[in-house]
């Protein structure tokens, strides 16, 4: 083993905790297999010293905001879809089954889905779906949010539909959950807090004879700013005149989801599809085993990383190809 030491492996083996990411994709209710076509987020922090698959990305200027940490590294396979297909992304936290909590119950926030030609170019990510706060509850309750009341309550299922008539080709879907439980202040103002971004990209190939091209979209990084009211938002804000116990922040009338509006070419509504059985493993393997034994530490964006021991010595630099590269065959990463 080159750089990866036995110590590192033992640290990673004990990794049980991870934040939410996509474990599978159902196409019209049929599972494509655990981690198939998914650019699984790698280590990006030092929590527990071994790092997690997917601690949140909080730095809005980081390339990790595009497809998460090591999001430039292709999955070995690509999911074939047709315009009109219903996709269900299966988000999980610790295990890919219905007992999983999907995301911590405190992590209130919106969910968003973008599509871009693969590879992305300047302003190529087009929003095709989002859901934010859909029901207000009286203070001090946070209300009902897509992440915690919709997706988490529906076994991690996030639904989106391939746009009608979309031209055939290779695309990346960038699905995202944003957790706002520490979003009352920006990461720039206080790196220990700030909104937590969980982006995850899925490689798809759209088949058929569609002619619809995507319009101009947004770039990641670039689409979000620390001034966005949807990025800095206190989910425990109060409209009460009586001095509240834990919050004096006035509520904005409506929560404003970050990023652009949903493209008019997207389906106006998404339907939850009944899904069949999961194909493949239900547990995740530490990222170190699929990065390879000569792996390096990624750019650590997790706020606390500087105060803890970083495993390894090198910083990972994402290299995004400017032309489409056919993925090399291999086992899915698990
Ligand atoms: C996707 O879902 C919609 C709404 O339920 C349904 O009408 C449509 O037939 C589904 N598409 C496919 C390809 O199954
Ligand atoms: C889900 O995973 C948990 C934890 O490993 C296990 O106890 C439970 O039996 C699993 N449930 C199903 C339906 O597979
Ligand atoms: C596109 O493909 C569909 C299904 O194969 C076919 O019915 C339709 O005629 C085709 N349209 C064009 C413009 O080729």
Q: What is the pLDDT of residues 132-144, one digit of tens each?
A: 999 887 666 788 9
Q: What is residue 220's three-state secondary structure?
A: coil
- Name the residue with the closest Cα to ligand 2, atom 7: 99
* Percentage with pLDDT > 70 across the chain: 75
Structure tokens at 134: 């859909």
| Cβ atoms of 151 and 103 closer than 8 Å | yes
Name the more confident of 284 and 53: 284
- Name the residue with the closest Cα to ligand 2, atom 12: 97
Q: Which of 76-85, 135-144, 219-228, 262-271 comes out lowest in average pLDDT?
A: 135-144
Q: Quote the mean pLDDT of the chain.
A: 82
Reported as a single tens digit per residue, the pLDDT across 96-119 is 999 999 999 999 999 999 999 999
- Name the residue with the closest Cα to ligand 1, atom 13: 85
**What class does CATH assign to 1-326?**
mainly beta
Cα angle value 251/254/259 (rounded, 5°): 115
| Cβ atoms of 128 and 160 closer than 8 Å | yes
Identify the residues whose C-beta falls under 6 Å from ligand 2: 95, 97-99
Name the more confident of 55 and 293: 55
**Ligand with an atom nearest the CA of residue 16:** 2
Name the more confident of 249 and 303: 249
Reported as a single tens digit per residue, the pLDDT across 203-230 is 999 999 999 999 999 999 999 999 999 9
Q: What is the pLDDT of residue 290?
A: 56
Question: What gap in Å lies between CA 145 and CA 164, rounded to an integer?
Answer: 28
pTM for the full predicted model: 0.86
Question: What gap in Å lies between CA 68 and CA 300, rounded to an integer?
Answer: 11
Alpha helices in the chain (DSSP H): 6-13, 64-67, 287-291
**Ligand with an atom nearest the CA of residue 97:** 2
| Cβ atoms of 217 and 262 closer than 8 Å | no
- Name the residue with the closest Cα to ligand 1, atom 12: 85
């Amino acid at each position: 083993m080159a750089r990866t030491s036995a110590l590192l492996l033992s640290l990673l083996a004990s990794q049980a905790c991870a934040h939410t990411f996509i474990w599978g994709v159902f196409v019209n209710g049929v599972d494509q297999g655990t981690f198939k076509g998914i650019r699984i987020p790698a280590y990006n922090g030092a929590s527990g010293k071994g790092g997690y698959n997917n601690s949140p990305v909080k730095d809005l200027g980081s390339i990790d905001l595009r497809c998460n940490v090591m999001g430039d590294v292709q999955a070995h396979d690509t999911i074939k879809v047709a315009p009109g297909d219903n996709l269900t992304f299966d988000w999980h936290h610790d295990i890919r089954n219905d007992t999983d909590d999907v995301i911590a119950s405190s992590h209130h926030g919106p969910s968003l889905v973008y599509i871009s030609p693969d590879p992305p170019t300047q302003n190529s990510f087009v929003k095709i779906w989002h859901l934010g706060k859909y029901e207000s509850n009286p203070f001090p309750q946070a209300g009902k949010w897509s992440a915690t009341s919709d997706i988490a309550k529906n076994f991690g299922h996030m639904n989106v539909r391939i746009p009608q008539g979309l031209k055939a080709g290779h695309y990346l879907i960038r699905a995202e959950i944003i957790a706002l439980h520490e979003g009352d202040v920006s990461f720039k103002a206080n790196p220990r807090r700030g909104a937590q971004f969980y982006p995850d990209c899925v490689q798809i190939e759209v088949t058929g004879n569609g002619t619809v091209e995507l319009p101009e979209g947004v770039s990641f990084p670039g689409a979000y700013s620390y001034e966005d009211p949807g990025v800095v938002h206190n989910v425990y804000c109060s409209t009460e005149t009586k001095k509240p116990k834990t919050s004096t922040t006035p509520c904005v009338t409506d929560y404003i989801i970050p990023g652009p509006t949903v493209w008019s070419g997207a389906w106006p509504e998404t339907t939850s599809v009944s899904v069949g059985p999961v194909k493949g493993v239900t547990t995740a393997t530490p990222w170190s085993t699929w990065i390879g034994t000569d792996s390096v530490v990624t750019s650590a964006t997790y706020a606390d990383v500087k105060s803890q021991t970083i495993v390894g010595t090198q910083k990972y630099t994402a290299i995004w190809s400017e032309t489409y590269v056919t993925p090399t065959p291999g086992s899915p990463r698990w």
